[in-house]
Structure 1
Amino acid sequence: MATSSNASQTTRTSSYTSALIVLTSLFFMWGLITSLNDILIPHLKGVFTLNYVEAMLIQFCFFTAYFVMSYPSGWLVEKLGYKLGIIIGLSVAGIGCLLFYPAAAARVYGIFLFALFVLASGITLLQVAANPYVTELGSPETASRRLNLTQAFNSLGTTIGPYFGSVLILQAVTGQPVDAVAEAQSVQGPYIGLAIALFLLALVFSRIPLPQIAEQETAITNDQKHSSVWQYRHLILGAVGIFTYVGAEVSIGSFFVNFASQPYVAGLSEHDAGRLLSLYWGGAMVGRFVGVVLMTYIRPGTLLAFNACINMLLLVIAMMVGGTTAMYAVLAIGLFNSIMFPTIFSLALKGLGHFTSKGSGILCMAIVGGAIVPVIQGALADQIGLLPSFILPVICYFYIFFYGIKGHKPRD
């Protein structure tokens, strides 16, 4: 009997490991796609002669999809399962990429924004399905480490994305006579390629076996004292943490190309600044791999609070000093951003039991911070200047510090 049980456990562990390996491709793809927005912002800002607030509508439409579609996505995953949710999410994201072709052909900013909303709706479904799936593929005690590991490959995608975009989109028109039509159409090829990749991934996921994770398994650890997912204080505070983290991360990435191009910072060309942005996202990738190791010795909440403190310090240095020092200080923030999203996510889902899918939907709704915070910072940048506007991410990181110290602890 013991031998049979051990063999079953070994088979299950092997199945979980295989599933984690396959899932890393999803994290990579949506990281690459999301970071391309940082290239679209300066590109379309020039094409359509936009101010900062208008340019930030790119992030607003993209991340608003998380707020609108997350709860329906949680319901869909609950009804259809993780695997089918992933396949549908990949297909919808592929359709969103295809819509860039008519948007560029018509050269209408509104169609670009609609395409981004559809694309993000698919990615929202992927996030709602994949993040809790990873947390449940093994021991609850190691959930933060597993999610940090898979998110490290998300960061690999965000590292490659800006370089990919700066070469194929920004450099495609660098040195050419100003031609708004050509500039708008330079996005068609890259996004058609992404659509093909997403559809191929959907086909792969439809053919491969993935282990079934019943939420009843996690319900064993749930004390059933709560009758609603909204009664979990650490989940709700975690949703605010996701809001502030994604808002800060997206704002910094969104403004970096314009920021580094300013004469009082580094005076770089948009193309060169776009390539440097890969360092910001690359730091997050390195930090996540390091974080997986550190979390074997340091509690996730403690590491979260420490990283938030460092980011506040880096932003204050950037605002006070300016010049190339400010640019490198902002780039360094990526390294300390690294463990924040997966750590907040896993801490917020801890102990939710059969409420896990709904909790994941709430957390993914909070990703709308990426829509709201950049627009607010854009308004600040238009009014008080780009450099002083970085006070907003400082406030966001202060809340994350609180969540790491105290807010993540469940209350009976």
Structure 2
Amino acid sequence: MIGRTNAVSKPGVELSLVVSVTSGAAVTATKGSKTVNGTAAGGSCVLSLPEAGTWSVKATLNGQTSDTKSVSVVDSYAVALTFFSATITVNVDSGASVTLKKGGTTIATKTSNGTAVFTVTETGAYTVTATKNGQTTSGSVNVVSSTTSYSLTLSFVSSTLNNNEWSVIKSVSDAGQGANYWSIGDRKAVTLNGTVGKLSLSNVTTYAFIIGFNHNASVEGANRIHFQLAKTALSGGTDVCFCDNQYGPDSGWSSPGAGYFVMNASNTNSGGWKSSQMRTNICGTSLSSYSGTIIAVIPAALRAVLKSVTKYTDNTANGGGSTASYVTATTDYFFLLSEFEVFGSISYGNTNEKNKQAQYAYYSAGNSKIKYKHNGTSTAALWWLRSPGASASSSFVVVYTDGTVNYYIAHYSLGFAPGFCV
């Protein structure tokens, strides 16, 4: 801001330039080869200029340079200079040591009391690192304006999977570091609310468990932690699959129709996994339209970090045998596991599925394949796999009650044990 004073330039009388600036700042005015210096006191500095004309004015304080003003002096003038100042607020655990750096140079280090607040004096990319109890977490802030307040939330990663928010689990997954913190089989609580298919769930807490880190990444996508539902407890407990009130593998049983945990409402596997009602109506294929699917009943925090995964399956089937071209890709958020992903071999599905699949580490490690009804944990249940039977037009592969592989008619309602990725 520049404003003219009432002083008048007279022969032999120097012109005054009043600079409003932080006390202690060194003020410099230059015009060509002429330089006038002064030091601000009481919030201003008065410079006596030897001649009229256009003067360039700036100030420095503690290694920082203010903005520069150009003043055309014909009488005495006043000008205000400002130093760049922006605030970065770091939200992080109390007691953490927080360091702010720019270009590898440490700006400041503070101890958090829930937040650590830094003032920066120039634009640019800043890195924030927090350490506590041997753990380190970091993030970055790009400062572009002194009129903006910047904030950054940092979270430490717990080696106990269940102690981490889903957002933290995602950040570790994004960095491809999951296996450095957790192990295959580790569990995370998931509370389910709502209706999936015909099954209503109200505040049902179950536990997702890790079945693979960066599983089959070259095909399915990198930086993903693969989970499956579900176990009944954080440790020990029972492996379960979800069963609706029409669960029934008996040979004389009839189809309950769409919406139940059937692969298809009719006795067919035509269209394979891709076209199955289990995929479209129960697992869901969209993060924007998912009413009635498993995506609708998971917590919002988990829904927000779901990652799509590319799965290959026989998507033609209809008794076509092991035809290589039938094995194609789908993009899924929740999915059923395939025969090869569970067993590491193929007995009933299209044998070409294995060319695009890998057995999950959880199952290759020898963990039990037997699952029990979620609403009757003393009863072992058959649970669906997404692989269509290759030699028949009516079946999909299942895991039998004794943990062996088998196949069942597509319109039976069996156990639902989906996977997902974060």
Computing the radius of gyration over CA atoms, which structure comes out larger, 1 or 2? 2
Which of the pair is proportionally richer in helix?
A: 1
Q: Indicate the TM-score class for this superposition, using the shorter chain for normalisation.
A: under 0.3
Q: TM-score, normalised by structure 2?
A: 0.20
Instruction: Identify which of structures 1 and 2 has the higher relative contact order when contacts are C-alpha pairs closer than 8 Å and 6+ apart.
Output: 1
Which of the pair is proportionally richer in strand?
A: 2
Q: TM-score, normalised by structure 1?
A: 0.20
